[in-house]
Amino acid sequence: MNARYVWDLQEIDETRIALVGGKGAHLGALSRLDGVRVPAGFCVTTDAFRRVVERAPALDGLLDRLSRPDADDREGLRALGAEIRRTVEATPVPDDVAEAITGALARFGAHDAYAVRSSATAEDLPTASFAGQQDSYLNVVGPAEVLRHVRRCWASLFTERAVAYRRHHGIDHRAVRMAVVVQRMALPDAAGVLFTADPVTGDRRTATVDAGLGLGEALVSGLVDPDVFTVRDDRVVAETIAAKPRALRPLSGGGTREVEVDAGRRERPALTHEQVLRLVRLGRRIEAHFGRPQDIEWCLVDDDFRIVQSRPITTLFPVPGAEDADNHVYVSVGHQQMMTDAMKPLGHSMWRLTAMVPMHEAGGRLFVDVTRRLASPASRAALLEAVGKGDPLIRDALETVLDRGDFVPSLPDEAPAGPAPVPGAAPAPIDADPAIVTELVERSRASVAALERDIRTRRGPELFDFLLEAFEEHKRVLADPLSFRALMAGMEAAWWLNDKLLAWLGEKNAADALTLSAPGNITSEMGLDLLDVADAIRPHPEVVAFLERVEDDDFPDGLAKLPGGAGARDAVEAYLDRYGMRCVGEIDITRPRWRERPAALVPAILDNVRNFGPGAAERRFRKGLEEAREKERDVLTRLRALPDGERKAEETKRMIDRVRTFAGYREYPKYGIVSRYAVYKRALMEEAGRLVRAGVLAEAEDVFFLTFQEFHEAVRTGRVEEGLVRRREEEFRAYCALTPPRVLTSDGEALTGSYRRDDVPAGALAGLPVSAGTVEGRARVVLDMEDADLEAGDVLVTSFTDPSWSPVFVGIAGLVTEVGGLMTHGAVIAREYGLPAVVGVAGATRLIEDGQRIRVHGTDGYVEILS
């Protein structure tokens, strides 16, 4: 069957993307939608592009080279893209393709004016819009010029910006094909862009219209400023009218030119309010058809709107699904768990199944609906108090929503059954008895051991039934009342010390020094134990040299063959036995654990070998312990000199004992969770292997793109929906590019909050003080722990840290993160190690350059950039 090189727009819809590209498919669908007017035209198909590629053999080698250059070699990419474009433009259009195009032009009007626009197969998709990546040409007149501009559109598939965009989104250059849309040229009075959701805030109820006179290209190119209209609930709620001294108009013989606008027209709006509202209603119909917010290019011709493009707005953060149409307010779980990366479906579905509160997924992240807690005064006050202690930015974002007055419903407090609880009150007193912590740790270990024992014989559907029961035990362990009291006792004691010692002695964050080297902190021990691993490696040069070349995860086996390597291997294996269940982003079960990828630890081990001497772990712990004891003596002595000093010193001593007893336990419940997760994962991956052997899946890690429930069904039926894994992979890749908000509303508005402080010096970056002290050093901006190359005295600057980052904490002088709160893991370990730390610094990894000298004010909560 012969290929067909031209299709009329009326013949195509979204099912034809592979043939006519994203833009062509959307325009075809819109041209068939009642009430939507699209300029008539046709598409030159990807089959025509394929013919051109076949006629240029040199392209094959050039495309091979395009896939090979280093991502940072911008000059190489630029030169290679230019060579490919020259090759495509110099290749004649095959006769049969040219005949099909000129035949279509004859039907529509051979010598009329046309817009010739690129339409790539990876363009205008829900996960990647490619907006502005390929070229469009306006007012093209005559068959010869149309053919020439079709070739230019083909070549624009390899512009520098398009190549870079595909590389960023992981899209294979060879997998993308170019179609070309040829449409009758609209000669508009006005033109512009409609966003059916606010592209800045994400609010789905708010639409934004940008409008200018003449051709819309003047707005796109920045030649003129647009009028901007904001529409909400079918009402123009804001407008900005720009002066319009110039406009872009088509020339009669082809091409465009800039013209002066009559003086009387320059200050008038490009659209009336009635036209704006009519356009937004049209946009809502288009949005409903495609099922997601749209970025729509429009023209106004004789008071009639023509749609020339509609693409999804891919930068909006998705909204959690709700079973009703009520307003909802969601708080990010990732900002509390210090893991704001997107999670794969198996990861977020299992976290929801094992969590203590209901959660909602959006954009690969998890959120908790706090609407009802915000609705009544008492629960609202308790919630704001709690989140404010942990992350002031979340509190500010919630207060921003509340200040609007009409978004969150107002409900009366429920009548208590007994004595009214005091919001934010401390739990029942608990003795500072280390035996309590010992008992809790033993309970957790016993629970994990029972899980390991009972899961061994479970296979197939029986395994999933067993896991559902195990998840209930998981939640029971987390909800242990004694565990909760121990956690709260440590936190409340720290808050008490900070408040009282600030009031009595004028000292900020005094608890930070009093908790140095607190006993039983499993996360800080993880960092110190890796120093001991370095001690086993440092005396053996051949082992060190071997580790410097390590790329494979089976390196422990190779150590035993080297002089001194047996002891080094034993040290590494012992470390993995205790901590191998941990990893970066460990709340996502799909992330590779250190036991699976031990090479992830090698950079930190080598940093320890280079930056420390023997016995550093013991010295560091002893130093912290001595500093804490000295601080305690100093505080108690100064208190006794105050009026009523003996009472104040006695109360303070009681709180110091309490915080030192329970501060370390703060990290243990998370250790218990990830220990259980490691057991779950081993069993699940064995089932994944059986699905691969049965031909149900191509590889075991495909199960990461199934929810737990879908995985269960696949094991039960031996089937997975065709194409599901691939679609989920594409979604996940798109979600990774999104930045999750701290607070999200059901209208789609993303709120990040602000500090609203006046005590931060000009030019400094505000954040939350979580570990006292001031330090100056070289900033090392690190986004992946495996890429860390740290020296003593460096200040780590990163997006977030979870417990897996603890091994690098032992070698740094300070910490700055974009995400975090007073009781998140990075803050706890920074205090444990005595590192000045500021967290919640918006944009820190972007605003601070690697290698700059910075000063971290861990007591006052800001960061100065010195050079």
The pLDDT assigned to 122 comes to: 62
Nearest to 334 by CA among 800, 766, 781: 800
**Phi, psi dihedral angles at 411 (to 5 degrees):** -120, 145
Residue whose structure tokens are 């020296």: 791
396-402-404-407 Cα dihedral, nearest 10 degrees: 130
Contacts of residue 33, Cβ cutoff 8 Å, sequence gap at least 6: 285, 286, 289
Whole-Å CA distances, 831 to 28, 394, 513, 662, 769: 60, 22, 7, 14, 11
Measured CA to CA, the distance from residue 855 to residue 773 in angstroms comes to 10
Amino acid letter, 307 = I
Q: What is the pLDDT of residue 157?
A: 85
Tokens of residue 571, six digits: 């040290």
Phi, psi for residue 865 in degrees, rounded to 5: -95, 115
Tell me how far apart the alpha carbons of residues 241 and 362 are, in angstroms, rounded to a whole number: 36
Phi, psi of 482 (to 5 degrees): -65, -40
pLDDT of 127 reads 47
With residues binned 3-state (H G I as helix, E B as strand, rest as coil), the percentages for the chain, rounded to 5, are 50, 15, 35
- The residue with tokens 């089932």 is 687
SS3 724: helix
Question: What does the alpha-carbon distance between residue 808 and residue 806 come to, in Å, rounded to a whole number?
Answer: 5
Per DSSP, the three-state class of 620 is: helix
Question: In whole angstroms, what is the distance from residue 432 CA to residue 560 CA?
Answer: 46
Give me the active site residues, please.
Answer: 825
Output the six-digit token pair for 749: 């508005």
The DSSP secondary structure of 473-531, one letter per residue, reads HHHHHHT-HHHHHHHHHHHHHHHHHHHHHHHHH--TTHHHHHTTT-TT-HHHHHHHHHH
Q: What is the C-alpha separation between 133 and 121, in angstroms, rounded?
A: 12
Nearest to 707 by CA among 728, 682, 679: 728
Q: What is the pTM of this model?
A: 0.87
Interatomic CA distance for residues 453 and 578, integer angstroms: 18
**10-residue averages of pLDDT along the chain (867 residues):** 83 89 92 93 93 79 68 70 84 91 93 90 52 71 94 86 69 75 91 94 95 80 83 96 84 78 84 97 96 94 94 92 93 92 97 96 97 93 90 94 90 55 46 93 96 96 97 94 93 93 94 92 94 97 95 90 94 97 95 95 94 94 95 97 96 96 94 97 98 97 98 97 95 93 96 90 93 94 84 92 87 93 83 92 94 95 92
Helix-helix angle 434-455:481-505, to 10 degrees:
140
Q: CA-to-CA distance for 189 and 191, rounded, in angstroms?
A: 7
Contact assessment for residue 259 and residue 249, using Cβ atoms and an 8 Å cutoff? yes
| C-beta of residue 664 within 8 angstroms of C-beta of residue 486 | no
